[in-house]
């Protein structure tokens, strides 16, 4: 259970992250708000409570690594990085503008704190495997966290990486599935159902935890539990709501990759401020 002061901090960080997502996507006139909003609580816990990171030293060799495999949800990562001090918050207003560091998908060559350039779905877990295996070979103590979408579970490369991670006993690797049930074409169960996710990951040799992805205590507890697991990788299946925090975006596939207009942006920011 999180201490009360820590809990209050994380609630506020998640709210601010969501507000940044709406503001930057609204300003850009394009982007992916739905799946960014659903992951805000997860990133709040990682960046402001759990991960061992130092914003003043983005390339610190002992840092924990976070990989956003579902790279289209870049706004949630950018908001967390800015709030954590990797770059000024004012940069968020330049999302998707030519010549600036915050492009539509994360670019590790331009943005401090971004570990890999991502966006081609299915690749993040394999990259995480390589980083985690490298840590094992170097006897390094950092951990690797990979956030994936549930629609991304339809990619075959995910399951190749799942086998490899279990084969090499990568207990320093934690996967997270943002299980909001929606993808750009509709409900994942209608497009190509990956269920039952928990049973599948267990069958692939992973330690699996299924949690409420908006319960900060549950999220923190899952990360702590993963640190105690030895000999196998851990998978957190986080049940979330796409568009969480904005009434007209919640559980609506239409907001996967559509920016709010000026009036909708103002309404969303008002809701988040309350």
The model's confidence at residue 97, banded by pLDDT at 50, 70 and 90, is very high
Concatenated DSSP letters of 105-136? S--TTTSTT--S---STT-HHHHHHHHHHHHH
State residue 156's pLDDT score.
Answer: 97
State residue 115's pLDDT score.
Answer: 98
Nearest of 43, 245, 31, 238 to residue 150 by alpha carbon: 238
Phi-psi region of 31 (alpha: psi -120 to 50; beta: other; left: phi over 0): left
pLDDT in tens, 220-233: 999 999 999 999 99
Judge residue 162's burial from the number of C-beta atoms within 10 Å of its C-beta, 0-12 exposed, 13-18 middle, 19 or more buried. Answer: buried
237 vs 1 pLDDT, higher one? 237
Q: At what angle do helices 124-137 and 156-167 cross, to 10 degrees?
A: 20
State residue 182's pLDDT score.
Answer: 98
**How does the average pLDDT of the chain come out, rounded?**
98
State residue 212's pLDDT score.
Answer: 98
Tally Cβ neighbours within 10 Å of residue 40. 28
pTM: 0.97
Domain boundaries, the chain: 4-273
**Stretch 260-268: mean pLDDT, rounded?**
98
* Topology of the domain covering 4-273: Rossmann fold (3.40.50)
DSSP state of 166: H
pLDDT in tens, 101-114: 999 999 999 999 99
Peptide linkage before 145 cis (omega within 30 of 0): no
């Amino acid at each position: 259970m999180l201490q009360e002061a820590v809990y209050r901090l994380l609630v506020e960080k998640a709210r601010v992250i969501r507000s940044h997502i709406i503001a930057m996507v609204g300003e850009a006139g394009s982007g992916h708000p739905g799946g960014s909003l659903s992951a805000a609580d997860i990133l709040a816990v990682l960046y402001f409570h759990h991960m061992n990171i130092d914003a003043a030293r983005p390339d610190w060799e002992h840092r924990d690594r976070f990989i956003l495999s579902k790279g289209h949800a870049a706004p949630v990562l950018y908001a967390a990085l800015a709030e954590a001090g990797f770059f000024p918050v004012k940069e968020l207003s330049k999302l998707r503008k030519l010549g600036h560091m915050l492009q539509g998908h994360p670019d590790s060559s331009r943005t401090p704190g971004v570990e890999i350039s991502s966006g081609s779905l299915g690749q993040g877990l394999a990259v995480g495997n390589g980083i985690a295996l490298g840590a094992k070979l170097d006897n390094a103590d950092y951990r690797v966290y990979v956030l994936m979408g549930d629609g991304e579970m339809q990619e075959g490369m995910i399951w190749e990486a799942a086998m490899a991670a279990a084969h090499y006993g990568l207990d320093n690797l934690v996967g997270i599935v943002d299980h909001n049930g929606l993808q750009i074409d509709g409900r994942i169960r209608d497009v190509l159902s990956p269920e039952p996710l928990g049973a599948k990951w267990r069958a692939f040799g992973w330690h699996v935890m299924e949690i409420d992805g908006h319960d900060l205590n549950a999220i923190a507890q899952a990360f702590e539990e993963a640190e105690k697991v030895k000999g196998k990788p851990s998978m957190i299946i986080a049940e979330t709501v796409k568009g969480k925090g904005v009434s007209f975006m919640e559980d609506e596939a239409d907001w996967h990759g559509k920016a709010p207009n000026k009036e909708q942006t103002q309404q969303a920011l008002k809701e988040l401020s309350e």
